[in-house]
Amino acid sequence: MGRPGATLDQVPRVFTFAIGLALAAGCGAAEGEGAGSGAPPALLPLADGNRWVLRDVERGSTTTISVARKPSGLVLRGLPGAGELRVRAARGSVEAWDPAAARWEPFLRLRAPVGTRYKVALTGAPLWRSLTVTVASRSAVVHDARGKTLRNCVRLTFAAGKPIADAGLEELVFAPGVGFARTVEQTIAGPRVRVLAQLRLRS
């Protein structure tokens, strides 16, 4: 798991400090340890302008997941099959707003114990309408696109209640203090594994 991809793209100097801090937290801090405050590092930092660029380990193409602030609140863009989701942090996890049901739904239960299973049913998101999510690991080890090791990662796996032919989310991996470290998505061309190549955090 976690095969390194191509060389990490050069990142503008303005981002260097934030990336260094984030990767230090992800690689050096054990679960439950924080950076000075005693709080555990966020597994998905949510702040306006945060951005993760992930590279396909086979093809070298990239995709971007980002957070932006709108009048309605924070939105997450670029997650496979989710479109644009209004999200909020909730006790270390992330909830998503389902406009059709007019309520907040459990989305990413990042602080749940290993073995936890829960349902996600977001009517407006094709790949998230009928999913069973399992917290498969809280100690996963993955590698980013330049081969750097990210430890103590949380790995979520997904099983669709109503599978869509040649499409589906298989896993998401989150590194402490970093966020998205690895995604695996099923496509008509086969599984697409993407790993973190660039990172911008403003939180």
Which residue stretches of the chain have pLDDT < 70?
1-38, 162-167, 203
* Strand ranges across the sheet with 190-200: 103-108, 93-98, 84-90, 73-77, 62-70, 51-56, 190-200, 179-187, 168-175, 149-160, 131-143, 117-120
What CA–CA distance (Å, rounded) separates 193 from 71? Answer: 34
pLDDT score of 76? 97
pLDDT score of 186? 83
pLDDT score of 40? 81
pTM recorded for the entire structure? 0.80
pLDDT score of 43? 96
User: Looking at the domain 13-200, which fold is it?
Assistant: YmcC-like fold (2.40.360)
pLDDT score of 165? 55
Which whole-number Å values give the CA distances from 80 to 103, 126, 169, in the listed order? Answer: 22, 9, 7
pLDDT score of 164? 60
